Amino acid sequence: MPQKRKLRRMLKDNALVLEGLDEAIAGSSDCGRLIYDFNKVVEVFKKRDGMSEEEAIEFIDYNVMGVQPNGSGFIMMHPNLN
């Protein structure tokens, strides 16, 4: 069974799956949500939609993170800035 399908089976019913961003999935959490790699999400928008890095980050901040409901949803994994 493909890894992405296996991950989706482990999710809570109200977990959000971001369409078109499967290649940015880093895994799933023990609370039943998908974890997306922020840097990979940026790369998807740059490659797929021809956005600059700044445009992609702004789009993610407003349009992707803006769909987060209270409670479940998804987790965005940001790079460690240490």
Q: What is the pLDDT of residues 25-46, one digit of tens each?
A: 998 888 888 999 999 999 999 9
**Residue 13 belongs to some domain of the structure:** yes
Is 56 a domain residue? yes
Please name the amino acid found at residue 65: M
**What residue has token string 């702004």?**
58
Does 82 fall in a domain?
A: no
Q: What is the domain extent for residue 19?
A: 3-77
Q: What is the pTM of this model?
A: 0.83
**Binning pLDDT at 50, 70 and 90, where does residue 1 land?**
very low
Digit-coded pLDDT (tens) for 5-27: 676 677 877 788 899 999 999 98
CB 59 within 8 A of CB 65: no
Total tally of structural domains belonging to the chain: 1
Dihedral over Cα of 65, 68, 70, 71: its sign? negative
